[in-house]
């Protein structure tokens, strides 16, 4: 079958998204929130603009996601002294709880996906996926 490998990669990505999204939906976690929760768990108090710059989301989408997360009690935003336009973003206790849930879902999905793989195979897979991502990013930059 022509293009089999690319179709297979797309199918695997779709299955992963379907499995994790279903688990997140049960907890009221939307599509953009897992990445934001993970990033803030390691960069709590970062500037909102940094979130947009580091993500694959546009600034307006990050803002909309953060407004929703603030309403859910997952994050709080505070103005930066001396720069009224800049906002720092912090996880709340509930946000940390949801982030731990996100980590469990991703860990379980990864363990299931890589069941039966040796450590060497997993390392090779990581290398291949990183190379594919790098190649595809080149096209996106043109």
Residues 105-137: tens digit of each pLDDT: 999 999 999 999 999 999 999 999 999 989 988
Distance CA 90, CA 80 (A): 12
Written as six digits, the tokens of 28 are 């009221």
Percent of the chain residues topping a pLDDT of 90:
73
Q: What is the pLDDT of residue 141?
A: 60
CA distance 124 to 97: 33
Does 140 score more than 70 pLDDT? no
Banded model confidence at residue 18, pLDDT cuts 50, 70, 90: very high
How far from the centroid of its chain's Cα atoms is residue 96's Cα? 15
3-state secondary structure 31-83: CCHHHHHHHHHHCCCEEHHHHHHHCCCCHHHHHHHHHHHHHHCCEEEEEECCE
Rounded Cα–Cα distance for residues 73 and 55 (Å): 22
For 77-107, the pLDDT digits (tens) are: 999 887 778 899 999 999 999 999 999 999 9
Q: In the numeric block, which tokens belong to residue 84?
A: 């009224």
Average pLDDT rounded to a whole number, residues 64-73: 95
* Four-point Cα dihedral 66, 71, 76, 79, nearest 10: 70
**Which structural domains are found in the chain, ordered by start?**
4-117 (1.10.10.10)
Q: How far apart are CA 16 and CA 103, in angstroms?
A: 14
- The answer on pLDDT for 1 being more than 70 is no
pTM, 2 dp: 0.84
């Amino acid at each position: 079958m022509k293009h089999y490998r690319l179709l297979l990669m797309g199918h695997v990505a779709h299955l992963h998204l379907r499995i994790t999204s279903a688990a997140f939906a049960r907890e009221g976690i939307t599509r953009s929130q897992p990445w934001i929760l993970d990033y803030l768990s390691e960069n709590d108090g970062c500037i909102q603009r940094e979130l947009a710059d580091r993500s694959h989301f546009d600034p307006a989408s990050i803002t909309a996601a953060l407004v929703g997360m603030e309403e859910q009690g997952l994050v709080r935003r505070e103005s930066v002294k001396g720069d009224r336009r800049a906002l720092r973003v912090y996880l709340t206790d509930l946000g940390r709880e949801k982030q731990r849930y996100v980590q469990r879902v991703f860990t379980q999905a990864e363990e299931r996906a890589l069941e039966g793989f040796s450590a060497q195979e997993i390392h090779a897979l990581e290398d291949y996926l990183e190379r594919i991502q790098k190649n595809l990013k080149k096209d996106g930059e043109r």
